[in-house]
Amino acid sequence: MSVSEEKDRHEELIQALADYDHAYHVLAQPKVPDAEYDRLFSELKALEKFHPAWVRPDSPTQRVGAPLPEGSKFPRVEHAAPMISLESLFSMDEVEAFHERVLKGLDGEGGEAPNYACEPKWDGVSASLVYEEGLLVRAVSRGDGSVGEDITPNLKAVGGVPLRLRGQAPALLEVRGEVLMPISSFDSLNEALVGADEKPFANPRNATAGTLKRLDPAPAAKRGLRIFVYELARLEGMTEPPTHSKSLDALMEWGFPVSPWVEVVDGPKGVAAFYAAMEAKRGEADFEMDGVVAKVDQKGLRDLLGSRARTPRWACALKFAPREEMTRLLKIEIQVGRTGRLTPRAHLEPVKIGGVVVRHATLHNARYLRELDVRIGDTVTVRRAGDVIPQVMGPVPEKRDGSEKPFQWPGKCPACSSAVAGKGELQFCPNLDCPAQARRRLQHFVSRGALRVEGLGEKAVELFSDAGLLSSLDSLFDLDWNAVAALEGWGEKSVQALREQVEKAKEADWPRFLFALGIPGVGPETARALCVPFPNLDSMREAAGGDKAEQKFTEVEGIGPEVAASLISFFREPRNLEVLDRMVAAGVSPLPSKSLASGGPLEGSTFVLTGTLSLSRGEVKEKIENAGGKVTSTVSKKTTFLVAGAHAGSKLEKATALGVEVLDEKGLGLLLGEDSP
């Protein structure tokens, strides 16, 4: 065979194997026996070994690349469009309420009724795939939704992931999909692990996640991982289909596998019918399914609805009813939370529920224990609420034999032996120096939602605490860096990186710092609301320590007497004030958020948003409020500006009739002092 003929044969083999992969993984219609596929694959490998310059990124031989070097880490990649979560619902009443919110959000705009594209909610690992000119260039894990890890080599080994798109390819395409391990493959994998005296995986999702995090991509192929693509995230060089269902059709034409069950329905009744059908098929599928997803089908209506910070307003996940099993309650232990709250935790005889081995479950509080009348030694009913959180539902009295013992609530904290204090049905350890509280307070203090000190996760906090380097919140800013460098696993670079993070945390935004303090009842949104009338630490301390403190706090919208009492208690506790003083002495100076400063460029102006904007409405709203402006939903004579994006609806007509000034995004950016909103 001449070189030219070999080259032609190489191209022929790539095309044939790609076609067989598509038929097997996407269409579930194998065209050739496995032996024939293996023979052709071996022939292709031999050709490429003899002609290494012919190896292409889309060759089937490149699905399983070389392992990463020992000690390497997957590069972190920022998502071009965030991978936000879905709102979880558990009843049809909640679906009705979701539908009403959708209708309300479209009131006066859109001009058409929303339909819902329904599909199964697969219980796997989400990933983003990016193609340029039809070629797979990057695959990224979900991560925290904003930043993920580049796991391209492992995703190439996942069945159904096309290395090159079929047909006419767009200039750029980003899709989102769920990577899954078949239940049959999971069972075989666990049997092999047990046979090798290794720890088995708890469920297929954990097995999938563990496989994708391996530095060697080979197991992703050997363990039979598959993908179902569920969303077209970005498209350039072609017109985007007008609906989600048509997008799925386009994705299939490009060679992606999508869910075998997709249906467009009208309203909550249609969602309910699809839900019932999928629940009936739950036991038939070879993949874990924990509910159904309903999305507004029309893309234009989605754009009008926008998204919250964490979830889109146009989609929801309706979870299946929880699965229940019976097991034995072996003992009850008390855990101490970061706020000092004592929580009873059940130790159970291991039981498998919905594919997960459950050994522990929460018992919430003293009242819950009393009302359930569960006793140590009882046979109890356990369920996974939302298929996630194990809960003890109650005892099975007819199984009692008289050996069961009632639980005696401790009078002392199990961590520090301080006398337990009651607060209604809740029990607390009042000692702020309690070691159990200190460690959990520190973990919260440095967490991503709080000060976001990268490199100081839960395990690092435990290591530093055990070494005596961290004992209270202020100790973070007075670390002995030489002692840190002496810890196992900490070198010069990691110490320097953490030191920079700690210095950065000294000037955290004031709302983030207030939330980080871990005051009971003060979450991120509450902290932000409080930081408007109390724009710095000093003003907060002064308000809490002065006269009419409760009145001052409850005047803030959304702040009730309980949160006010928490704030007053926290800022009047001498030991807490000592900690804050030591922080200030160490250079901690929280920065007022731009939204908290009076006299912003948009102060006194009222805005209404309409149409499709480049950012979500929530993000644009936040930018306007950060500059002192106010955002409302209705156009009136009091409206100062209407910000209109593409496909603006009746609000634009009303604004024009009332003489309200209309801005595009560039105009808003000029008001904000930036190029864009």
Give whole-number Cα distances, 446 to 147, 315, 486, 577, 587, in Å. Answer: 18, 32, 21, 19, 17
| Cα pseudo-dihedral 188, 192, 193, 197, rounded to 10 | 150
Burial of residue 284 (number of CB atoms within 10 Å: 0-12, 13-18, 19+): exposed
Query: Is the Cβ–Cβ distance between 143 and 197 less than 8 Å?
Result: no
Give 353's strand partners. 356
Question: DSSP states of 378-423 as a string?
Answer: -EEEEEEETTTEEEEEEE-GGG--S--EEPPPPSB-TTT-PBPEEE
Query: Is the Cβ–Cβ distance between 361 and 382 less than 8 Å?
Result: yes
CB neighbourhood size of 465 (10 A): 17
Which of 31, 45, 121, 269 does the annotation list as catalytic? 121
Give 136's strand partners. 131
Query: Is the Cβ–Cβ distance between 185 and 154 less than 8 Å?
Result: no
Q: Are β-strands 115-122 and 606-610 bridged in parallel, bridged antiparallel, or unpaired?
A: unpaired
Helix H or strand E encompassing 204: helix 204-212
User: Is 7 considered catalytic here?
Assistant: no
DSSP state of 162: -
* Closest to 582 (Cα-Cα) out of 477, 467, 501: 477
Query: Is the Cβ–Cβ distance between 536 and 543 less than 8 Å?
Result: no
Give 88's strand partners. 317
DSSP helix/strand/coil, 273: helix
DSSP state of 174: E
- d(Cα 522, Cα 544) in Å, to the nearest integer? 14
Question: DSSP states of 52-112 as a string?
Answer: GGG--TTSGGGGS-PPPPTT--PPEEE-SS-----EEE-SHHHHHHHHHHHHHHTTTSSSS
Please count the CA atoms within 13 angstroms of the CA of 623 that sit on its side-chain side. 19
Task: Please name the amino acid found at residue 208.
Answer: T
Residues in contact with 304: Cβ distance below 8 Å, sequence separation at least 6, in sequence order: 105, 106, 109, 110, 611, 612, 647, 649
- d(Cα 553, Cα 562) in Å, to the nearest integer? 10
- d(Cα 89, Cα 233) in Å, to the nearest integer? 24
- d(Cα 79, Cα 147) in Å, to the nearest integer? 6
- d(Cα 104, Cα 634) in Å, to the nearest integer? 12
Give 635's strand partners. none
The set of catalytic residues is 121
